[in-house]
Structures are given as structure tokens and as C-alpha cells.
Structure 1
Amino acid sequence: MYLNEVYYGNQSYGVEAAAQSYFDKHARDLDVAEAALISGLVQSPSEYDPTRRDVQRTADGIPIVTKERQAYVLEQMTRHGFITEQQARDAYAEHIAIKTRQVELKSPHWVMFVRDVVEQQYGAKTLYQGGLKIYTTLDNDYNDKMQQVLQDSKPTISTQGATNASQIAVNPKTGEILAFNGSLDYNDESIDGQVDILTSERQPGSSIKPVIYSEAFVKGQNPATTVDDNPTCWQDTPVHGQLRQHLPWPDNHPQRARQLVEHSGRQNAGLHRRRQRHSERHKPGYQHLGT
């Protein structure tokens, strides 16, 4: 009974629906490798979703976390005598082809975003088995219009050398999210459409430089301080000799920012960045902060 009702992700409730969804076959026709992969989804369907494109994947295209979960299931099957160790090794090495399917949800990136928030706050069991009714601030009509604006902007986007775009609309008075489109097309694999650009972490680019400069000033430098702009092995860019810190900066100068990171200390630059953005969602390693 449990196997026929539990959620396996991607709108699939029950092992038969999961087999059809991921492998386009009946559950009775699954082999050991496929059965182990599906069985591993139950604990956290969103985390182990084999169709995800926004995480690291194996050469077969399977998310690494999903493959690791499959390995755990195979290990348990061996431990309890359902299969031999050789069968487990063969199953793990087997090439698995996940069926490409079109997601028919309205506003899929928004749905996934809300799903992740609820799962983080209340847990997977409550989310998938708690019978929740979730109400959000999204305006479907407005969101559809905004999505159409994105589609109509494709020619302009392509002239900038880009293939994808996203947008979000927020009520400035209440903070309510009214529209949320994480890509041009969720189902377009050629642009990694399943990746939510709105919530993906990206390099800050030159916008981080004022933060780096401010940390350098805290460490004793000032607008009149000079740094060497001489040839280096970083990249082939024009050089300008001694440069002062004050604006404007020639060519949005990256080398000076790099030197300031070294002067201030990479760790200090990173800590200052954290102080500025009021968030703990940082990752270690500050070598590229100035670029």
C-alpha cells in the first residue's frame, strides 16, 4: 500500500507512476539498477530528483547525489540478502537513461522554489504526506504576461550573446512576489531551462569592487594610495603604471582590485563582503573576489 501512494517526485505518486515517469516502463519491468534508483527517491524526492539539471551530474547525466543514493540502496539490498555483491556492482555500473519529460506545471520555477522553502522549514514528510494546502502571492495572469515579455525579448537577448533570461516582480509595499520566471523555458534543455537563474549563485563581477576598496580603506589605504599596474601573468590587459585609488578607474581596472584583495587579505575581503550583504550564504575561497 505504501509503495502505491508515496511520492517519488515530478508529480509521481506510487512506484508504478514513478517507473512510467522516469523509465517509461511498468514497475514490474524495472531491473535492479532502476529499482534501486527509484527506491532511493522516497526519502527526499526533490533532493534526489534524477531529472535535475542544476546540480553536478555523472557522465550518464544522473545527479551525483542521486547516484550516491542508489549506491546506498544497493548496499542495503546486498546487506539484507536480496542481491549479491556482484549484482550490486553490476547494477551500479549500469548505464541508466532517464526519460526526458515535459513538465506541465504552471510557473514551474515558482512551484519548485516554494517546494524547497516548505521542505526546508517543515521537512519532506510534512510536505509530501501532510496533506498541505499551500497558498502563495503569485499572480498567475501577471506571471504569464511577464513570461510572454521574456519570450518577446529573445531577439534582443540574443544580440547580447545570451541565450537565457529570468525576471521577478515584487510588490514594493508588501514584499509579495507577484511574478517569478527562472528561465525562458523550463523544458528547454539546450539552455538548461530547469536551472533557476533567479536563485542561482553567480560571480558578482565588478559590483564587488567597491566592497574590496572599502576594506582596503579600513586597512589604511586612501584615495591617493598608488599600486603598481605592471605586466603580470594573470591575463593580457593594458597596463597604466602607478594608479591612484580614486574614481574613475581606467578600464574598470581588475588588476588594482586584485592587488587590494592581496593587501587587505582575502579572508578580510570575504568577511567584509559578508558584513555588507547581511548573509551567511557565503562559500570559502576568495581568490576571485576582485575579478
Structure 2
Amino acid sequence: MAKKRSGGGLTTTQQAAKFLGVSVLSGAVLAGLALPAFGAFGLAAKGSVEGFDEIPSNLKTPPLSQRTTILDNQGGEIAKVYSRDRTVVPLKDISPYMQKALVAIEDARFYEHGAIDLKGVLRALNKNAQSGGVSEGASTLTQQYVKNVFIEEAGDDPDKVAQATQQTIGRKVKELKYAIQVEQELGKKRILNNYLNITFFGEQAYGVEAASQRYFSKHAKDLTLDESALLAGIVQSPTRYDPVNNRQEATKRRNTVLQRMAELHDITPAEAAAAKKKPIKLKITRPKNGCITAVNGAGFFCDYVREVFLRDKTFGKTKEERAKRWNQGGMTVRTTLDPQAQKSVQAGVKSHVYASDPVATAVTLVEPGTGKIRGMGQSRPYGFGKNETQINLSVDRNMGGGAGYLPGSTFKPFTAAAALENGMDNSQSYPSPNRMPYPTVSDCQGRSYSSNASVPNESPDEVGPYKMPEALKKSINTYFVSLEADTGLCNVTKMVNKLGMTKRAGGTEWGLGASYTLGVNEASPLNMSAAYAAFASRGKYCTPTALESVTDSNGKQLAVPQSTCTQAMSPKTADTINTMLKGVVDDGTGKAAGLTDGRDSAGKTGTTDNRYSAWYVGYTPNMAGAVWLGDPQHQVQMQGGITFGGKTYGKVYGADGPAPIWRDAVSGALVGKPADKFTTVPIASGKDGKDSKSDDGGGNAADAPDADGKGGKGHGGKPGGKHH
């Protein structure tokens, strides 16, 4: 095979010889003497390595993995995430003491030899021959840099890391080949700079800047002589010379570095002696990695941002590409999170539900008209300890959440919107008895769903006839199953789909039947808040979005996924819903959610089967939010005397826990924001044309025998058992 040539017409074999400082009679001689001369000492490498000239000559250097900083929409830091804590800095931003110390202790002849230090090789070979293996290396800084590149390229794959660090002749030969290339292409200063940025300094710190911050809480350019010597000494064995856990060994090693610097005339003997007398003074900055360190309870939002990045093809065609890009880091990710709204969400959560309570709550705020997520929090903190979790209770399973929760009567406005869109008037009246058989309904494929079960209203005195506004105020079950039957289940499901919910939160298909309108399919707080935001924006639904911008390590702006907005319903339909749901807050089951600053707000309560969950989903013209309260494991029933947030409740309705949480979260989020008004329309008044008093019962599917899908054929759809 013809030998590849580069640089002055020399073959790579001749280049190797030149760097080694020996004459070459043949490739075989070089293989026996210098690569790394194992054959000359009885350690033949026959069959164990590729031919030197057959190794590819281009070292593929991956971008160094660095920290990614996640910011809120005001530029405040939420968290830093990284697979390796590293901040790349130029040589001018690294203390000259650090540069000299590293060279002195790791490769004193760095500026004198080529890629290979022949004297070091021969010394090492002597010991290797005596031991019968590779007991000592003779790696120059250039070779060490190449090995670090192999390790960096291996990432977190343990098999690849093992291959990159194994003590074999084959790896050494490749290391040599690439070291020659690096010496030719980069030169000494760039090699030193790259080495100082790539190497591991212990305590999770990669590169000298991260190490300087970790041990001394200062920049690498500000390192003193004794500090530089300490860090340079760590490189050989980050565990043995760890100054945090083994100060005595670290001190000895530091002093060895100082002595070597004096011997090489990098510093004077007096400077070395003075530095040796100094005790090690650390100013530790503990590593803060990952969403668990996020401020203002934004750990789950931070995790959601990561999920968006890993799943959206904007950041790479395959999941492997996206994961690699995320792990490489070095990005600045500016998000939609509003720090004011986030603080308000957490304050609202903490004042009503404790982390140790038997039930949990989750809150998500979305901006109408943009889909921007402004707040996301929950009572169970992000973590691994008692009463902590890594499950984001606000989102669907595929984005780091669970199977979702039955939304109950908060689903009824979707049926009302579908009815209005299909020509009905809000004055539509139904007899709405206290209990009635479920009507037969059909889906978009023409399949019929019937049941022998009946649906009740919450209270015995809830007896019609009712019109739509009053039925929403009192949350009348029998009204809405009748309205759904006349509107058509197909039209109702189409409306729900237009509002961003095409499947259950757990990813399974809808369970269909006459009880669909009663909220018997699991949903997530994020999707419910985004759906209600469409009412606030006069019918325009926008997909939820968490990213404003992403900048890579070179300052280049990357494309980010954009919210997609569509007109899910006419402005007139939305205005009618807004007017009716405003009535729910003014004089209905949502009174406890009323804002005290005179702002318009609208919303709907919801309570589900056997009181495993309670909801309030509401909005103002410029903020929508959903609050869920319940047991994520679907085991604790909120009745019979349950205590959370320091208060005991008999039966929990959406008006009890969720509505006050929503009020507190949204009121704080909107301080200083415009107090816009809804566009209202005339609506039918009262029961039989008269306003009627509303209770706070929050009519729901809780007592409907079939509301959880366990009853008659084709009814409701089984919600999937326990919710996680």
C-alpha cells in the first residue's frame, strides 16, 4: 500500500522518525524501535496494532462539553446543567504561573521535543521491559492531550471510555500518530491551551477555569503561584492529590511542583520556598449541576426545557444527535419563564399545600395569544428524598410527567364551545333532572356508545330546566351530557383536539362515551391551561412554548421551535364562553378564585370520581392557569376529613384548595401588568329566565356510577387506573 505523505514530502513514518530523532531504515525498524520500541525490548506487537501508515491521519476533535446556562425571560439564571463542568478560556485568560507549573510537572521538555520525547520513551521502555507490560508511559503533553480527546469523544459511554484509556500498544500507536498531526497543525501554545481546557482536575471540574472556580472561587487568570502549583499537581492523580479530601498529599504534591519549577528556572528558589510555606487555603464553590439546583422551585420547568430540546427536531434529526448536542452544552438557553410569575406560583403552592401532605398540587401559567409558559411549580419538590419526586406533575408523560389526572367538570366548557360553534345559542335549555340515563352518542367514525347507567348532579336540589350560563355556574352534569348528545360527540372531540389535546396525558387514545364531557380522560395542567388560554385570546389557541432563544458556545443563535397558533373557535364563541365563565367566578362555583384588584377573570372548577382530584382552571385576558390538587398515586380520597396545608376539609371541591391557589398564584404574577377587560356579549340569564343562587358544590362526575368508565358498554372509557 502506498504510504500517505504530508508536510515536506515525508511519509508519516519518516515524520515519526524525525520527531523521535532517529534514523529510519524501514517501517519495520520504526515499528520495532519507536512505536514505542516494544519489539526492541522483547514486547513484540505482532498482530496487535494497525500498520502505522494505515491509521487515518485526521484527528476528529469533538467540541468540548461545557456548562449550559438556563435563564428566565429576564436573563436571570435558573440553573446550570452539564455532563462535564467546563468553561473554555483562551490562554491569555490563564495565569502564566499555571501555564509554567503544568509544563514543569507534566512535560518539562515540552518546548524542546516534537510529539514524542525519545528520552522519556527509552526510560519508560526500560521499566516496561522489566515489568513485562506497560507499567509506565512516556506521554508528552501532546500525547496526553490526544488521549483526553479520545476520552471526550467517548462521552458517557463506559465501553468507549475504557477503550480510550486502556493500556495497550494499539492505543499508544494511535496516540502517537495523532500527536504528530497535532504538533504540526496546532503548535505548542495552542496545544497547551487545549490541554488546560480539556483535562480533568478532580471534584467534577474539567478544564482549568472550572477547577479554579471549584477550589478557589476565582478565575484562572487570577491564580497565584501556590494555587497554580496545587492545580498542576492534581492532574496526575485527581483522587490521590485531591486537596479537599487529602490535604496532606496535595500539599506534598504542590511542593514537588514548586521545586520542579525552581529547578527549571521558571521561578527563583526563594519564590519556591515562600510558596511552600503557605498552607493550602481553599475557597470551595460546590458544583451546582442540573435542574435540582434550580431557583424559585423551577426544577420541573428546567427539566421540561431539557425534554423539549431532546425531543424537538429543530435541534437535530435524530434523538442521538439531540442528546449529543445537549451533553456537549456550552449553550445559553433563554426561556419564557417569568421570575415574578414563578415566585408567585411557588408562594401560592406553599401557602396551601405542604410537601409532606398526603396530597400534592401542581400549577402551570400560560400567556394567552403566545403560548409562552410563564410559571410551573408543584408542592412535591424536585429531588430524590422523602416527599420529593422527579415526575413533573404539570405535563404529559412523554415530557417527563405521569399519566395525568381526570379533569372533571373543567372539561365542560369545551362542550359548550363546540355547541356554540355548531350553531347553538347560549340560551339552549334542557330539563336537566337531578338524575337521568346517559344518552346514546356517536364518535366521528359513526360508532355508537350507550349505557344502562345514569348520571347524577352533585346536589339533590340541582333540578332543571337550565340554560347554558347557569348550567356552567352550577356545573350541572345532566345538562352537559344532554348538550353533548345534541352537539355530537364527534364535534366535541374535534374542539378538544383543536385546543391541543389529541390524546390522554399518558399517551393513550381517548376513552369515548356520553361521559366524555364530564372529564373522564386524563389531562395535564399544562395542556388545560393552554386550552383555556384560547378562550382568553378570543379563540386563538397557541401550542405551549418554553424557549425564547438558544445561543451556542460561539455566540451563534440557534433556531428554536416556535409556538403554532390557530383559530380554534370564532371570537364570538370565545367571547360567549368568557362571559359565561366570568359568571362562574362572579356568582358560581369559582368565587374563591376571584381576584381582589378588580381584574376580569373567568374559570371553572372540577372535582372527579371519588375525589381523587380537584381542579380550578381559569384565566384573565393576559394570563391562563390550571391548578390540580390530588394524590399522584390515585390512592388518597379527599373526603371524610383530610388535612393539607394545615387545614382539615370534609369533602374537597375545586372551589376549596385549587381555586385559592389559583387566585394567589395569578394575582402575584400580574402585579404591575395591564388589567385588561374581556369582550363580553349578552347571555341568557338564570334558571327559567331568572338568576338563581349558586352553591359551591362544583357539580362533577364524582358520584356518577359510570363516570370512571367502569360501567356500561362504550361509556366513558377506562381512565387507566392509578395516576403517576
Structure 2-normalised TM-score? 0.23
Larger Rg: 2
Structure 1-normalised TM-score? 0.49
